[in-house]
Structure 1
Amino acid sequence: MRKTTVLAAAALAVAGAVPAVAMAGDGPVADSSGWQPKARNIVYIQGDGMGAAQREFVRLATTGRAGDLVMNRLPVTGLVHTDPGDPEALVTDSAAAATALATGHKTRNGAVGQDAQGRRLPTILEQAKRAGKSTGLVTTAQVTGASPAAFASHVPSRDLQSDIAKQYLAESRPEVLLGGGEDWWLPKGDPGAWPDKPGEESRSTHGNLIEQAKRSGYTYVRNASELAATRAPRLLGLFANEDMVDYGPDGKGAYQPKVALPVMAKKALDTLSANPRGFFLFLEEEGIDGMAHENNAHGVLDAGRALDAAVAEVLRFTRSHPDTLVIIGGDHETGGLAIEDTDGAPEGKEDGPFPVPGTKLSLTVDWTTGDHSGVPTPVTATGPGSDRLDGTIDNTDVYRAMVSAARL
């Protein structure tokens, strides 16, 4: 599956939203003695719920047959098994999947940073921190959600989001925390900066964690202008009361985060790269998963465009920092998405039609479930150590590739 040619040409812009950037290659190759270059920085980029069908749908609907996504133009391509270490399930949830990616160990669904017996597992983020690197978690989900949490906390249930926030502050201490989830940082009765929808409320079980974060050295920002203005070395930004995306079925849900994922990505890179020892950054687009749960293809398309724009932002960074390993993957597939020719008005769970640029054709998206599926997910990568992601691998191998590349 390895691509034999490293593309050095500018990446094709995605529907005008993704600026052209030069693609980074693998960096120096191993010499005859087996020496391999070391990755000073690692950026793991996750399209939550993004399987091969989601990537292909976004490609066809934005670039057409002749084009490709930025994330698809990297020199290494692999396929990742996603099943959990759960005796009662073959299909993973986000907690178990992220734990495997972050620690190299499979676990039961719902567990975060722990094995199936409840023992703590060291994470790639924590290992990077011990090596003197800076670290960050950036997501359009709640920053204490299952996927980012698995990289920087250890709890028996993904629902313990205030406990996760407390561990961020007291233990793992990422330099950058950007996303949604303000409700888990404030006690009941404190509305915070973001209004709650019906059924939502502030619910911290550890008091006012935002104030605790400030006292421990974090600069707190609440919106895009405050994020742009700050030059603080340690950032907490909460840009929604829960997830940053307004989920709902087609025609009701809307992908409209108050701070765009590429903007958060650039701020994180600017902040973390000040450390001469390098950094580890987890960067996630949650909207693909959330909209696929709702069988909302238009929402998946919008989230996919945003993710590819964030990938372009990261690859711009690698042009001047070639010692950066960049990995783009999906923790699992959501929705059982299928791409079909348009043969009339959509029926049942079908969405569309979506025009295919550069052709007279259109496509329709069909859904088989509102939940996760057990299919493997594609991974693409570039930079030192990216060759370890070539071929068909397990999700635990992604962790091992990162540790090996950075020699942690």
Structure 2
Amino acid sequence: MRSQSRTRWISAGGVAVLASALATGSVAMGDRHGGKDAGHHGSSNSKVAKNVVLMVGDGLSIAARDAIRLATVGKDGRLAMDRLRYAGWTYTDSEDPDEAVTDSAAAATALATGVRTYNGAVSVDVDGRAHTTLLQHAKKLRKSTGLVTTAQVTDATPAAFGSHVPDRADQSEIARQFLDVTKPDVILGGGEDWWYPAGDEGAYPDDPDDPRPEVSRSTKGNLVERARSMGYQYVTNGSQLAAARGHKLLGLFANEEMFEQAPEGQGDEYAPVVPLATMTTKALDVLDDDRQGFFLLVEEEGIDEMEHANNATQMLAAGEAFDDTVAVVHAYAKRHPGTLVVVVGDHETGGLAIENVDADDESGDEDSTSDDVLQSLEDGPFPIEGSDLEFTIDWTTGSHTGAATPLTAEGPGSERLAQAQKNTHVFDVLLASMRGGR
């Protein structure tokens, strides 16, 4: 998740110009289509998506999807994400000069802007030039917008839709840009540490028993109070979220991620204060009031983070929660024709493989003294739902791999995603579907 950014690829002057423009909200956005309308793609122009919901399973590979399927609905069952009408896959290559495999920031930038970039970059290209995101395009079309995630709301994936920074680590600047530049109507997730200045711990203070300090660290002042002054209703728990009214909503439900990522038995937990499906339901309720429609990003971060820890048990829990959320969105789309739903993984994590239970087929070294080696032993066995059979999950790495990721979609323009494609093509299709003939 946290690859080193390639900020040396951006000239100091370019960064200064970008920072100055973003400070005033007047950045001149680049467009890789050379100013031409990306919506002109033949017959799909007549199919207008009033609403677009892009659902990103961070680290969600085809193997991970299958493991979630086996564990939750069995061999003959189908996940909610598998019930969408069209299926394809996406190549995840970034434009990084040093690494063959993408990180989440570059992968999200490709989905958000249609531009490939270096690892660590958030919606800027390799020259530091900002590119218009799908969220911003939706704003131009007078649509409401929202970001929902179990990560920090300022983490790489939501950040790529609502900000432009050369380094994904600059999370307080990302939060500031949410408020001053891109202005999503709904922002729900974790990461309050990046909204409060040092010394003001907000609703979720650091746990002294956690070996990883998680303390407030905003470099832009008290951004929660800033949001309130701009008309956002601020909530910190499920009951407050349920009671919230109005059209501008900020909810931060953890100091960092909304779970604890770690190997099994080492403090790992997947139990968000507010489930992803609940946050998404509320976002849909708020955004649904806009007659022009909306754009909503929904991300489940727990899949990726648990894969980094080679924790199959919690990865499956996060995957099931993500699929429950897909079911919520799909049901909404069925009730609201003109809604485009796209489910995609941004990259693969862990080199996950599904295997038979076989004591003689352990690929790791059980006698090793290395935590990294021991972490990557097989996980399981896990029961296959509705069966007497079991399977194990084997890992090859605690990092990302370059594997393509599965995509399923339904709604206006979704048939154009039923192919092998670059991840930038997802941007093309979603923008064309939102614009229609305009």
TM-score by length of 1: 0.90
Task: Specify the code of the residue in structure 1 equivalent to 2:401.
Answer: S
Partner of 1:168: 178
Alpha-carbon shift at residue 34 of structure 1 (Å)? 7.1
Q: Which amino acid aligns with 2:106?
A: A
- How far apart, in 2, do the equivalents of 1:346 and 1:223 lie? 45
2:158 paired residue number? 148
Q: Identify the residue that residue 412 of structure 2 maps to in structure 1.
A: 384
Q: Percent identity?
A: 55
**1:199-238 correspondence to structure 2 within 5 Å:** 199-238=213-252
Q: Which residue of 1 aligns with 2:262?
A: 248
After superposition, give the CA deviation of every residue in 1:79-105 in whole Å (9 maximum; x if it has no partner).
100000112111000000000000000
Question: AA paired with 1:296?
Answer: N
| Aligned residue among 286, 308, 318 for 1:293 | 308
In the alignment, is residue 316 of structure 1 matched against residue 316 of structure 2? no
1:195 aligned onto 2:205: yes
Post-superposition Cα deviations, 1:294-319, rounded to whole Å, max 9, x if no partner, equal 00000110001100000010011112
Indicate whether 1:47 and 2:57 are aligned: yes
- Corresponding residue SS for 1:53: helix
2:352 counterpart residue number: 337
Partner of 2:31: none
Match of 1:263? 278
Q: Indicate the residue corresponding to 1:307 in structure 2.
A: 322
Please list every run of 5 or more consecutive structure 1 residues that lacks an aligned counterpart in the other structure: 1-31
Secondary structure, in 3 states, of the residue corresponding to 1:122?
A: coil
- Whether the 8 Å CA contact 1:346–1:352 is kept in 2: the answer is no
Count of paired positions: 377
* 1:68 Cα deviation from its structure 2 partner: 1.3
Letter in 1 for 2:414: S
Cα distance, 1:343 vs. partner? 1.5
State the one-letter code of the partner of 1:207. Answer: G
- 1:78 pairs with 2:88: yes
Alignment partners' CA distance in 2, 1:358 and 1:66: 9
Match of 1:281 among 291, 296, 301: 296
Would the aligned equivalents of 2:44 and 2:432 in 1 still touch at CA under 8 Å?
no
2:403 to 357, 362, 375: 375
Pair 1:315–1:34, CA change in 2 (3 A): closer
Letter in 2 for 1:301: L
Residue in 2 that maps onto 1:182: 192
Contact 2:196 2:224 in 1 (8 A): yes
CA, structure 1 residues 346+353, in 2 after alignment: closer, same or farther (shift >3 Å)?
Answer: farther
- Return the alpha-carbon distance in structure 2 between the equivalents of residues 357 and 168 of structure 1: 42
Which of 320, 325, 336 is residue 340 of structure 2 equivalent to?
325
Counterpart of 2:12? Answer: none
Unaligned 5+ runs, structure 2: 1-41, 365-376
**Residue 35 of structure 1: CA displacement?**
6.2
Identify if the C-alpha distance between structure 1 residues 164 and 43 changes in structure 2 by more than 3 Å, giving closer, same or farther.
Answer: same
Counterpart contact for 2:53–2:339, Cα < 8 Å: yes
SS, match of residue 205 in structure 2: coil
- Range with bigger deviation, 84-93 or 260-269: 84-93
Task: Tell me how large the CA RMSD over aligned residues is.
Answer: 1.4
Taking structure 1 as reference, are residues 275 and 340 closer, same or farther at Cα in structure 2, changes over 3 Å only?
same
User: C-alpha displacement at 1:36, in angstroms?
Assistant: 3.1
Which residues of 2 match residues 59-74 of structure 1 at below 5 A?
A: 59-74=69-84
CA distance in 2, matches of 1:35, 1:305: 35
Matched, 1:99 2:95: no
Hey, what's the Cα distance between the residues in 1 that align with 2:337 and 2:69? 26
C-alpha contact 2:57 2:299 (8 A) present in aligned 1: yes
Amino acid at match of 1:219: Q
1:31-90 Cα deviation digits (max 9, x unpaired): x97763210000000100000010000001111111111101111001100000112111
Q: Which residue identity lines up with residue 166 of structure 1 in the other structure?
A: R
Between the aligned partners of 2:360 and 2:254, the Cα distance in structure 1 is 36
Following superposition, the deviation at residue 278 of structure 1 comes to 0.4
Give the drift of 1:388. 1.1
Return 128-137 or 192-201, whichever deviates more.
Answer: 192-201
Picking from 96, 119, 124, the partner of 1:109 is 119
- Structure 2 counterpart of 1:395: 423
Aligned to 1:358: 386
